[in-house]
Amino acid sequence: MDKAIVLDARGQRLSATSEERARRLVQQGKAIVEQSDPLTVRLTYEVDIPEKPQPEPAPLPGKGRRILLHVCCAPCATYTARRLRELGFGVTSFWYNPNIHPYSEHERRRETLAQYAHEIELPVIWEPGYDIVPFMRAIHGREQFRERCQVCYRMRLERTALVAARGGFDALTTTLLISPHQDQATIKTLGERAGALHGVEFFFENFRRGWAEHHRMAHEHDLYRQRYCGCVYSEWEALDRSAGTYPRET
């Protein structure tokens, strides 16, 4: 059955009706024909259409909650910290990266984070010291890529969970989740395990969707961007696989 367009006296479009009913409205003096093709009639009176109630916005998962963000480097903290703030979290960053070698590289990355944290008013908890010896002992015999990475993830996430529990944080997470070069599934598993051990929720989101944005933000803030993940093995592999063709780690 053909449909007719129906307008009210103000020209507000209403639900369509059948041509038969539209012509009947005209015959009854309740409408006039505006145009014949397609058949459009205008009512002689106004129609008040109640506004549809707007759905309540979904509550922010971080509203009123404090999260401790383990930071592997300042560039990876750019998008990640911003995203967590958008989700309503009160964000504090945490620096603990005993894998980074040599010490000069560790300090350069630490100083870059301090610079960036100051710019965006991001609180930082600094783990004192440099645990390169415990790290090297932990990965002894497990130096292969991925195998050593699991040890590295566990050390950093367990320390983050411990500090989060002591500080009364509601949750923890890590900037490691933004990198496509890291094993995200393993990080999630180890993060949840560390959180459960210390009674703090591990917050997971696929931050990789912000990978391109984090590059833009790092460039905008003129942050030092390293060319390898952190440990001496990752530096060696980055140079050995390439001659400049191995993908950057951040």
**CA–CA dist 190, 10 (Å, integer):** 63
Q: What is the pLDDT of residues 103-157, one digit of tens each?
A: 999 999 999 999 999 999 999 999 999 999 999 999 999 999 999 999 999 999 9
**CA–CA dist 210, 218 (Å, integer):** 12
Region 174-192: mean pLDDT is 97
The b/e string for 35-70 (b: 16+ C-beta within 10 A; e otherwise) is: eeeebbbbbeeeeeeeeeeeeeeeeeebeebbbbbb
What's the pLDDT score for residue 11? Answer: 87
pLDDT at 50 over 70: yes
**In percent, how much of the chain has pLDDT > 90?**
70
pLDDT at 249 over 80: no
**CA–CA dist 189, 185 (Å, integer):** 6
- Between residues 126 and 54, the one the model is more confident about: 126
Query: By mean pLDDT, which of 31-35, 50-54, 167-171, 182-186 is the weakest?
Result: 50-54
* 245 SS3 class: coil
Q: Place 241 in a pLDDT band, splitting at 50, 70 and 90.
A: low
- The letter for the amino acid at 177 is L
Q: Place 244 in a pLDDT band, splitting at 50, 70 and 90.
A: very low
pLDDT at 17 over 50: yes
What's the pLDDT score for residue 56? Answer: 82
pLDDT at 245 over 80: no
What's the pLDDT score for residue 52? Answer: 82
Q: Place 1 in a pLDDT band, splitting at 50, 70 and 90.
A: low
Domains and CATH numbers, the chain: 3-43 (no CATH), 66-240 (3.40.50.620)
Cα 188 to its chain centre, rounded Å, is 14
Q: What is the pLDDT of residues 75-86, one digit of tens each?
A: 999 999 999 999
